[in-house]
Structure formats: structure tokens, C-alpha cells
């Protein structure tokens, strides 16, 4: 059993991570970074043969400020993920899609005039059939 003690110093905004069997202390402003550094140090120095990031037999001792910090960080991440557009939505917007899965809006009057002057028809047809026609397909499905 590996034990890891984590304390958050609110005044210094630092996490102190202590592993007692090797008497190792890591200090960092980022909890994930500190655990990663501790893991690398323990393995590289031969003090541990077990990867603490994947070991199922670890006991963490966490103080209240650390627990609060973890929860607040997760809440911020969830809020950011809910408000940020997905990668698909950003790609769709970049290539002219609506990004919402609904039909695209019709071109404005100015765009229609420009498209009609290019060949008598709207060249910006939507959907698979429009794309098929655009590349010379004559059949309708």
C-alpha cells in the first residue's frame, strides 16, 4: 500500500505532496503536475517500482482545501465544456455549416445575384444531391 498525503497551502497557493515510505515531498502550484513529478521521481530514482498514476492500491490523505480545490477545478471545467463549441461545431462553422444540425439559411439577395450570374442556377446547393450535381452527376436518386 502506497500512501500519499496532500495538503494545500491557501496562503502560498501551493500543493504539498508527501510520500512517507520514501520521505519524498513535492511542492507545486498544480496538483496534477506535482503528482506526475512525484511519480517520475519515485520510479527514476528506484524508490518505487509501481506507477502511482495507475496503481489501484494507493491511499490518499487529502485536506479540506485540496478537496475544495479539486471540486472547484472540475466545476470550472464542466462549465467551460458546456459553453465551448465542440470540435465538430467549430469545423462546421469554419466550412460554412450551421453547426447545429439544422438546415442552413438561404443565401442573401446579394449572394443569390452573384450565384445566378455565374451560370443561371444557384451553385451553392445543399445536401448530397446538390454536391453530386456540382461534380457533374446527372442522375437523380
d(CA 93, CA 99): 6
Give pLDDT, residue 124: 46
Asked if 41 and 26 touch (Cβ cutoff 8 Å), the reply is yes
Across the strands, what pairs with 60?
4
Least confident of 3-7, 53-57, 63-67, 115-119: 115-119
In the chain, domain spans? 2-63
d(CA 139, CA 129): 9
| Tens of pLDDT, residues 101-110 | 444 455 555 5
Fold assignment, 2-63: Double Stranded RNA Binding Domain (3.30.160)
Q: Regarding predicted confidence, which is higher, 103 or 53?
A: 53
Give pLDDT, residue 123: 44
Q: Regarding predicted confidence, which is higher, 3 or 103?
A: 3
Residues in the chain: 141
User: Which helix (H) or strand (E) element contains residue 83?
Assistant: helix 64-83
Amino acid at each position: 500500500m502506497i500512501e500519499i498525503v496532500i495538503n494545500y497551502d491557501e496562503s502560498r497557493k501551493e500543493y504539498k505532496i508527501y510520500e512517507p515510505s520514501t520521505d519524498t515531498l513535492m511542492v507545486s502550484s498544480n496538483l496534477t503536475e506535482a503528482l506526475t513529478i512525484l511519480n517520475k521521481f519515485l520510479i527514476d530514482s528506484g524508490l518505487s517500482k509501481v506507477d502511482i498514476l495507475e496503481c489501484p492500491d494507493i491511499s490518499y490523505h487529502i485536506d479540506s482545501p485540496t478537496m475544495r480545490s479539486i471540486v472547484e477545478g472540475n466545476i470550472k471545467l464542466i462549465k467551460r465544456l458546456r459553453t465551448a463549441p465542440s470540435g465538430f461545431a467549430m469545423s462546421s462553422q469554419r466550412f460554412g455549416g450551421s453547426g447545429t444540425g439544422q438546415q442552413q439559411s438561404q443565401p442573401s439577395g446579394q449572394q443569390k445575384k452573384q450565384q445566378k450570374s455565374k451560370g443561371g442556377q444557384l451553385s451553392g446547393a445543399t445536401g448530397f444531391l446538390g454536391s453530386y450535381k456540382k461534380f457533374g452527376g446527372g442522375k437523380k436518386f
